[in-house]
Amino acid sequence: MIDVITFLITGAIVLGGGIGVIVLSNPVRAALSLVASFFGVAVLFIMQQAHFLAFVQVVVYAGAIVVLFLFVIMLLGVDRHEDIRAEPLAGQRPAAGLLGLMVLALILGGLFLSGPGGDDGAVALTGTKSRTAPISQLSESDSDITVLAQDLFTRNIVAVQATALLLTIATVGAVVFVRNKGGEDVVIDDPGTARR
């Protein structure tokens, strides 16, 4: 029962935060709303015994990424209300809402309508269980980080190294983008004098 109550409260926070991101006109408030949503997702991870991922969720998403967003908002001075009541492209919002409903119907249809039914209305999950490494083999003293680390550093070692390379490239790329060469303004939108 406590599970259900926790889930309902957390779900309300996650969805409310998500809706806040898309309806609030002030970017700072949207970013703070995003933090609420991320924390809710972290609670959902804890409810599913993924404690390490919940920790990383809070540190990386709610910490680093949102702080980066807020930093850029403040740096650029765009922390003012924008007028989101005006609709520059006629019919864009109804079309977007309709598309969103279609995507939702597609996902829920795949969940509830296709394949053999499970006991709670959704599709019964088929597939090989524990193909790579089981989670449930953990003893009480082990945390979930043990099995995750074993999978990361044995089966996925090449991918781990590739992400290290990716992060390095992203950092260098960010520096290259925002570097101001000798005080010149970088012309981006004029095709005649475009240079990087």
Partner 1 sequence: MVVTDTWYLVLSALLFTIGFVGLLVRRNPLIMFMCVELMLNAVNITFVTFANALDDVAGRTAVFFVLVVAAAEVVVGLALVVALMRRRPLLSADDLTALRG
Q: Does 108 bind partner 1 (CB under 8 A)?
A: yes
Number of residues that bind partner 1 (CB under 8 A): 97
Please state the closest distance from residue 116 (CB atom) to partner 1, in A.
Answer: 14
Q: Which residue has the tokens 């003293």?
A: 141
Do 36 and 13 contact (CB within 8 A), yes or no? yes
Please state the closest distance from residue 180 (CB atom) to partner 1, in A.
Answer: 8
Please state the closest distance from residue 164 (CB atom) to partner 1, in A.
Answer: 9
Q: Which of 9, 74, 133, 157 binds partner 1 (CB under 8 A)?
A: 133
Under rule CB under 8 A, which residues in 137-176 are in contact with partner 1?
Answer: 144, 147-148, 151-152, 155-156, 159, 163, 166-167, 169-171, 173-175
Amino acid at residue number 39? F
Do 36 and 17 contact (CB within 8 A), yes or no? yes
Under rule CB under 8 A, which residues in 25-44 are in contact with partner 1?
Answer: 27, 30-31, 34, 37-38, 41, 44
Please state the closest distance from residue 113 (CB atom) to partner 1, in A.
Answer: 13
Please state the closest distance from residue 42 (CB atom) to partner 1, in A.
Answer: 10
**Cα end-to-end distance, the chain, whole Å:** 59
Q: Does 88 bind partner 1 (CB under 8 A)?
A: yes
Q: Which of 9, 74, 117, 132 binds partner 1 (CB under 8 A)?
A: 132
Comparison of 11 and 140: residue with beta carbon closer to partner 1: 11
Q: Which of 9, 74, 78, 157 binds partner 1 (CB under 8 A)?
A: 78
Q: Does 9 bind partner 1 (CB under 8 A)?
A: no
